[in-house]
Amino acid sequence: MLTKVEMTSKDYIELEEKYGAHNYHPLDVVIEKGEGVWVYDVEGKKYLDCLAAYSAVNQGHCHPRIIDAMKKQAEKVTLTSRAFRNNQLPLLYKQLNELTGYEMFLPMNSGAEAVETALKAVRKWGYKVKGVEENKAEIIVCSNNFAGRTISIVSFSTEKQYQDGFGPLTPGFKVVEYGNAQALKDAITPNTVAFIVEPIQGEGGVVVPKEGYLEETYNICKENNVLFVADEIQSGLGRSGKLFAFYYEKVCPDLITIGKALSGGAYPVSAVLGTREVLGVFNPGDHGSTFGGNPLAAAIAVEALKVLVEENLVEKSFELGNYFREQLQAIPSKHVKEVRGKGLFIGVELHPEAKGARRFCEALMQRGILCKETHDNVIRFAPPLVIKKEEIDWALSHISEVLQMD
């Protein structure tokens, strides 16, 4: 048998294909090391990461401050469960309060768990506060949404593949057209407890709604005593050029779900941020997680948030994102239908005649740039927020040539 030293990318890929469930279709690059915006494969080839682990490594790969915080806490205590208190979780609560102004927080691990937590919170609020008849609560979601892979979450997806073979699906959800405020207004009934919306749809293809959509839907919710929930797991924490993408409009969500960059990619950490009226509906035993709120996660998250603020990564995302997007829009390519996004959250949609985005991603990989197709015809560019202008310029020279190939 080959030793690890002797193994090549081909060997690792063969092992993964033989023993792993085939629920992903990754590019055939085997990453061994990451630093900042760069990753290296097992043969030592260097790549610019333009996906940032779906925005989980906004602070860059293996940020030294975050890794140092992780090491220090790991040497003390990693897990206590919520059966006992620990001295790190309160510090994370304080940090989130000072950064966002929200009153209460509920920590979990994955983004999907944060969304599941929000679903439970809004339903219980509907029954205990709004007075909806038991088991009649309705939650309104948007077409083209993506919030995770659990049974409840795929139940309100409009992507048929996500539901195929997983029924019976969870009831209680209504789907309205994303970007259409009137559709939301028409769908609300006395049983509606919440509207859940991504301010920018990431997996949907970096879809940005028209200006004013969030504010209009927020006001509709307030007029009808319906909770407004912003899913900022991918768009939040600086990715969009603001701390949260909803900051571009005058809205104040009742709940926000966050994850991914909350740990700088070092550990699974997520949370629901909200008002005391909504998150206050939980009583001991109503909800929980063995690992949610553990001291290691909390210590990592505190440092990850400090890095975002102290290194001005949100502001850098705004400035460099505008530059990156403008330069992409200037590329004379017959394949490009639209370039859209906010901050360093950019989607390049291709015409159907381009024969899919996958081949462009594979061509970029050969040139040392890693990105990923979404919804077949969209290339997503979302590098770590620590990227420099000269690194964007280097990438653009290659992207321009690839987008102009036949």
The CATH number that applies at residue 258 is 3.40.640.10
Q: Which of 258, 276, 310 finishes a domain?
A: 310
Same domain, 107 and 237: yes
**The dihedral formed by the CA atoms of 114, 120, 123 and 126, expressed in degrees to the nearest 10:** -80
Q: Which among 124, 242, 260, 372 is annotated as catalytic?
A: 260
Domain boundary among 260, 285, 310: 310
Residues above pLDDT 70, as percent of the chain? 99
Number of domains in the chain: 2
Cis peptide before 332 (omega within 30 of 0): no
Active site residue 260: yes
Range of the domain at 122: 64-310
The DSSP 8-state label assigned to residue 168 in this structure reads S
In sign, the C-alpha dihedral spanning 329, 333, 334, 335 is negative
376 is a catalytic site residue: no
Query: What local confidence, expressed as pLDDT, does residue 219 receive?
Result: 98
- Partners of 272 in beta bridges: 106, 257
Say whether both 20 and 123 belong to one domain: no
Q: Are 299 and 358 part of one and the same domain?
A: no
The tokens for 338 are 């639209």
Instruction: From the candidates 146, 195, 318, 360, give the one annotated as an active-site residue.
Output: 146
pLDDT for position 149 = 96
**Does 84 share its domain with 54?**
no
Give the pLDDT confidence of 39-96 residue by residue, as tens digits.
999 999 999 999 999 999 999 999 999 999 999 999 999 999 999 999 999 999 999 9
Confidence of residue 6 (pLDDT cuts 50, 70, 90): confident
Q: Share the mean pLDDT of the chain.
A: 97
Q: How confident is the model at residue 3 (pLDDT cuts 50, 70, 90)?
A: low
For residue 53, give both structure tokens: 């682990």
Helix (H) or strand (E) holding 176: strand 173-176
Picking from 304, 252, 259, 280, the residue whose alpha carbon sits closest to that of residue 147 is 259
Pair (99, 51) in one structural domain: no
- For residues 163 and 154, is the Cβ–Cβ distance under 8 A? yes
The pLDDT of 366-375, averaged and rounded, is: 96
Distance (Å, rounded) from C-alpha 390 to C-alpha 388? 5
pTM of the model: 0.97
98 lies in the same domain as 170 = yes
**Spatial separation of the C-alpha atoms in residues 77 and 98, rounded to whole Å:** 25
Which entry of 41, 49, 231, 254 is annotated as an active-site residue? 231
